[in-house]
Amino acid sequence: MKCAIVNLAGVVTGDLYNPYLQADAILMADGRIETVGSLGAAEVESCDVVVDAGKTIAAPGLIDSHVHITFGDYTPRQRTVGFLESYVHGGVTTSITASEVHVPGRPTHPAGVKALAIAARTSFETFRPGGMRVHAGSILLEPGLTKQDFDELAAAGVWLAKAGFGAFATPFEYAPYVAMARDAGMITTMHTGGSSIPGSSGIWAEHVLASNPHVSFHVNGGPVAMPEEGFARLVNESKVAMQICTAGNLRTALLTAKLLQDTNQPERLIIGTDTPTGSGIMPLGMFYTISHLASLGGMDPAVAIAAATGSNARVYRLNSGVLAAGRDADVILLDACAGGAHDDALSALSYGDIPAVGAVFTGGMPRFVGRSRNTPATTRKVKVAACRLPMDFSGSHH
């Protein structure tokens, strides 16, 4: 499929160090971005679908780096069907599992946690709810796992490992297991903060430093934050990516962003929601955190968007998250909400408002155009200008 987006007001790239691009069109083909810039008439006419952006701005699809996946588009934590498809209407085009810890009756022995991770990963290989890419299947670290287990998991395609819910006497005991997962080529993540579910324990800065995972999960608390002195320790004594989550402590989220900015390490800040949890389901959670960083933390809104897109992609080795030729064609169109105090999406974010989502594309295909069921209407009109396929992308059935 070949698709063009035309009549853009500009592009937020998702690249932390080059966050803006003056461009009025994007060309996508076979799931990848071919051009970000300007298109000739012949290029536009060759497309199966052409979307008129109506002078809205394009940004990469958001990557929620902390979603509690189970199986299918269902969360037993909130007993809700269709939450992932709903997140697409909040601009989220990729979800990364925070481990399948919410699976009812989840196993805790080595054979069981291995089977759970493999089953979860493979069940989402071709299942894309609402068009979303779902990276499922994170091995939950438990006593008794061996180097051979991690090698077998990696050979089966499992590339995520989670520390935080195992039956260890102390969180310091995760360290050799995190090291084995790293040696097998996995991205390693670690719960940070107070206990989040019965049977888990608090994990503070000293535990994270001892294990040295790639990512300190919900460093601002999931939902309870660690003691304040731990934030400076993680910033100054490690290179761990520090993930802030919507379902955590807002004050310490802003503290984390400031500490990283003040030490010239903004690339270590990444964003997730930590949902569904006791905090509920939050289709607009990523945009809430982006708006908090921009309005309360004084961050350039395009830089805040990069923390939710390109920075997540870099940490998790994904080809999405940045609008550039050769990257995955996951794109969202943003505008100020109709009737709001500001006239464009970025100014609205700096004011503290969420933007309106006017269209979402994943794999180069429109998933809806013109109407999100989870945001107010756009100020400007986004529409399908041409379609040579027997499909309706208007979203009118929502």
One domain for residues 85 and 67: yes
- Tens of pLDDT, residue by residue over 75-110, are 999 999 999 999 999 999 999 999 999 999 999 999
- Tens of pLDDT, residue by residue over 352-398, are 999 999 999 999 999 999 989 999 999 999 999 999 998 878 765 54
User: Which residue pairs from 392-398 have beta carbons closer than 8 angstroms and sit at least 24 positions apart in sequence?
Assistant: 393/49, 393/51, 393/366, 393/367, 393/368, 393/369, 394/368, 394/369, 394/370, 395/368, 395/369, 395/370, 395/371, 396/371, 398/89, 398/368, 398/371, 398/372, 398/373
- Tens of pLDDT, residue by residue over 217-232, are 999 998 999 999 999 9
One domain for residues 258 and 351: no
Which of 283, 310, 334 marks a domain boundary? 283
- pLDDT value for 392: 76
Residue 311 lies in a domain: no
Phi, psi of 214 (to 5 degrees): -70, -35
One domain for residues 40 and 107: no
Strand-pair partners of 29: 2, 32
Cα separation of 118 and 86, whole Å? Answer: 25
Give the residue numbers spanning the domain of 136.
62-283
Decide if 80 contacts 68 (C-beta within 8 A).
no
One domain for residues 43 and 104: no
| Domains in the chain, number | 2
Cα separation of 312 and 136, whole Å? Answer: 15
Name the token pair of 102.
């919410």
Global pTM value: 0.97
CATH code of the domain in which 67 resides: 3.20.20.140
Cα separation of 59 and 305, whole Å? Answer: 8
pLDDT of 201 above 80: no
One domain for residues 88 and 224: yes
Residue 331 lies in a domain: yes
One domain for residues 144 and 204: yes
One domain for residues 227 and 81: yes
One domain for residues 53 and 67: no
pLDDT of 41 above 80: yes
At 195, is the pLDDT very low, low, confident or very high (cuts 50, 70, 90)?
A: confident
Residue 229 lies in a domain: yes
Name the token pair of 135.
């990276």
One domain for residues 81 and 210: yes
Half-sphere exposure of 350 (CA within 13 A, CB side): 12
Residue 308 lies in a domain: no
Residue 33 lies in a domain: yes
One domain for residues 73 and 40: no
Which of 235, 256, 283 marks a domain boundary? 283
Q: The tokens 């903060």 sit on which residue?
A: 193
One domain for residues 16 and 69: no
Residue 146 lies in a domain: yes
One domain for residues 274 and 330: no
- Candidates 251, 254, 248, 220; CA nearest to 234 is 220
